[in-house]
Structure 1
Amino acid sequence: QNTADDVTVSQVGITKSVVSPYQTVVNDPVAGGVTKYLITVSNPSRTAATVTVDDQLPAGFTLIDAYSAIGATQPAANPPAAPWAAATANVAAPNSPNHPLFDNGGAGFTIPAGQNLYLWLDVAIAPTVIPGSYSNQANVNIAGARVASFTGAPVTVTAPQLHLSKVTTTPNIGKDVYGNYSPAHYKVSVTNTGNASATGIKLADTLPAGFSVNTYPVVKINGAALTPGVDYTYSFVAQVLTVDTIPAGGFTLPANGQLDIEYDAQIAPATPAGPYTNSASITTTNAGNHGPASATVTLWDVGLSKTTGTPNANPGGTVTYTITVVNHGATALANVTVSDY
């Protein structure tokens, strides 16, 4: 048999919405973002109801502060203006800043018949939150028992997500017969797996001593080549290669896009043999800074000579040759083979 209290409990309702214009949040790579929720607990019954409210926020969302008000209609002013009052969240275990309980200091909120409890939540979004849509559930409880739940419209988090890589197609370079190295070839790639464009992308790539760049890199966005000297420029100063747009300001990379920068580095013949690692980094205006991404090229300086101790031989005689391989570098050579034709 139901009692009047049972009817009151069953009539308490809850809704949750995202306060405009916080339905879409552009997430800063350093500061993160902020969204705001409005939870409404209605009491359409003819008797007062005392309730608590808990809100399971998405991962990476954390309560900053909250406000409450009780009345027949939502206050016209936004918090912290009156009649809103600060609402202290209970975040002690099993609750947390990610799952706060609003219990009015343990006493609960008493909602008069025909009126509503309004809870306004300011929520921080961590910069590490992956772009996408995030919904969460708010619950209303009476005497510790959940009586109603509501999952409102989602918050859409937008942000670029950049990934930087660098490779070389010339991991091993040896000197030719004239004592010169062939160029080292590098490719730096920036991919954007986010749902918003990244802007202001600039490349800085520090090359080892003896390496230099004196021709335009090849720059492509989503496979389409840009025009050197028109769309972009480069400089090589103090062993640092920089690539920027014309006018200066950096490249814009759309969501799901890829920026590729390829270039050749000339190597001075006097550069000692050995491994050389160089690193690239990028700066942006809205997607943070990334790097370093590194690639290693190993230079080899091998000398080869062939002599004979029998410069003159008779038919049917024996000729002796000596082949000498000299490693002029500082790195040991492995798996060396010699062919003699």
Structure 2
Amino acid sequence: MQNVLITGGAGFIGQNLVHAWRAARPADRLVVVDAMTYAANIRSLEPLIADRSIQFVNGDICNAALMQRLFEEHKFTRVAHLAAESHVDRSISDPEAFLQTNVLGTFTLLKAALDAWRTSATLGSARFLHVSTDEVYGSLGFADPAFTESSPYRPNSPYAASKASSDHLVRAFVATYGMPALITNCSNNYGPYQHPEKLIPLMIIHALEGKPLPVYGDGSNVRDWMHVSDHCDALMNVIERGRSGETYNVGGGNELNNRDVVGLICDAIDHAFASSPDLATRFPSCPAASDRSCRMLISFVTDRPGHDHRYAINAAKLADELGSRCSMGFESGLTQTVRWYLDHEEWWRDVTSGAYKAWIDKNYGFRIAV
């Protein structure tokens, strides 16, 4: 049995990890911390909170006193650190928030863990997993080999720079203090509970509402896509079986450009409407409700600054050392994801109200169709 702290547990990957961890390791004691910013949603965790399967704390990892108290009370032996500001577009308009959470917050959590584990003489048996991103490596050309764990850091956005900084902090704590920490750098995730500011849920929801599907530039930017369930399996494997001090890249092996991804989303929605006539009544503004393709909504808009052209992950180290391989194919995973958003309309309508609409207008309203 382990006493586990999961930070950012009400975010997209975080809440999926909470559910996956609870199912795979029912004996572990889970404490979930989240500052409940705009991207957090506790609804999926409420049944686990109600039956005391987890303890939820509404708190900020930057609060040193709170982190120290939680470590003293719960004697954590495992930390899965996912709390982060993660949206590139928001980092361009408000970089300070990313430095505060991603850099200072990570430092505060590292120090709390190190102090607690030194005091209790558990430094040798505890584990701290820092969950990062492939964006720290910068951008690849079309013919370049995929990122490996030894690829140089070349962040091109405030978000990527803040995550690169936090990665370096973790490495420094390992080298300087013997911190039993590991780092994972993952490719783009998708799946249930993802905030609608991200590409895939944004396009699904806009298509259902008959709104334009804004694609940056000519849509040729390439990403490596991974279903969040595969990511969570890899994270649980790394924290238990990975070598302390090591970095593991986690990728889906599904390189696709944004134009093709949006097209596949449209096709999946079109097929869902053809298979379920009731959807036309629920979403009358969607082109598929009148037997038209959602592809008609695709609109190419001016690109964002510093937009990395291609990411690709070489996850051979993870597969060779720990046996972790992604099992979800992109098209089947995308079909499941579209179905989830169709079946959880109340969830995303709640999320997309108010401040989210103002953000969409701010980020996309000024962009010119190209």
After TM superposition, the score normalised by the length of structure 1 is 0.21
Greater Rg by CA: 1
After TM superposition, the score normalised by the length of structure 2 is 0.20
Q: Larger % of helix: which?
A: 2
Q: Larger % of strand: which?
A: 1
